[in-house]
Structures are given as C-alpha cells and as structure tokens.
Amino acid sequence: MKVPVKAEARKQIGVIGAGDCGSEVRALAERVGREIAKRGAVLLCGGLGGVMEAAAYGAKKEGGITLGILPGTLREEANLWIDIAVVSGMGHARNALIAQSSDALIAVNGEYGTLSEIALGLKMGKPVVVLEPGWKIEGVHRVKIRKKP
C-alpha cells in the first residue's frame, strides 16, 4: 500500500486590524488580501468586520482561501468572505490563536486588540509587518505602501 506524502502546507498569513475602520483603511486591507491570495497563501484573520472583512474580500476576489478565528461561539458571526470559521469562545484571548496559527502577521491599522496580536506574534518569533502609518515597535518590519496610480 502506498503511503500518501503530505504536500508542503500553504503558508497562513494573518491580517490583523480594527473591526471598525474607514474606507481608506478598508481599501488597503483589501489590497493586502488580494496580494496574499495571489501568492497562494491562506488568509487568516479574526473573521469579523473592518480590516478582517476587507482583507478576506480581497483574498476571495483573487480566488484565495480565508480562515477566520472568531471570538464567540457562532460560526454565523463570521463575515461573508470567510471560508472556514473556527469558533473559539475565547473573546480577545483568541488573539493568541491567530498569532500562533499564522506564519507571519500583517497589521493594517488597528487598536489595542491588534497591538496584542503584534506583541504575541513577536513573542512567538513570527515575522510581523506593520503598514504605515502604524506603531513604532522594536522588532516589527515597517512598510509604506505606495498608492495605486
């Protein structure tokens, strides 16, 4: 009997940011989601609105796979663009799952929840990218995104 050989697992890129954000931040998050999908990675996020929804939408526009780790216990709370919804029942503590499950994290704006994910990612030795303008934290990679022509 032939034993199946596991193919190299797809990278999981965590996109983190505020659940409530303006149109400029949403557009940036959507662009990030598109780029993740173009590169064949899975987009991992908190599965709710704002940056998470915009990034998932961008990934879906490019045919990507999206995974949301939700704070509550209902899969129905996931935004429309999440393919796989994981319910954690952990509230903000689910940020540790997002950081641990991501091969790298990209912060698109954000608030204290995002800050906790950045800190957890750094503590876990994950590469963390902060899109400008953003926090100035030792250990993160700061990236300025050029506006589209």
What is the domain partition of the chain in residue ranges? Answer: 12-143
* pTM (predicted TM-score): 0.90
**What average pLDDT does this structure show over 106-126?**
94
Task: Give the span between the Cα atoms of 119 and 115, in whole angstroms.
Answer: 6
- Res 103: pLDDT: 97
As a whole number of angstroms, the distance between CA 125 and CA 145 comes to 24
Residue found under tokens 């990612």: 121
Averaged over 97-101, what is the pLDDT? 97
Structure tokens at 132: 């400008």
Whether residue 133 has a cis bond before it, omega within 30° of 0? yes
pLDDT tens, residue by residue, 58-84: 999 999 999 999 999 999 999 999 999
Largest CA distance in the chain: 56
**DSSP code for 15:** E
| Contacts of residue 111, Cβ cutoff 8 Å, sequence gap at least 6 | 18
Fold of 12-143: Rossmann fold (3.40.50)
Report pLDDT for 2.
Answer: 63
Tell me the C-alpha to C-alpha distance, in Å, between residue 15 and each of 24, 34, 55, 63. Answer: 16, 12, 7, 17
Q: Stretch 37-63: mean pLDDT, rounded?
A: 97
Q: Give CA–CA dist 14/55, Å, rounded.
A: 10
For residue 14, give the nearest of 112, 111, 128 by alpha carbon.
128
Q: Is the pLDDT of residue 8 over 80?
A: no
Give the model's pLDDT for residue 4: 63
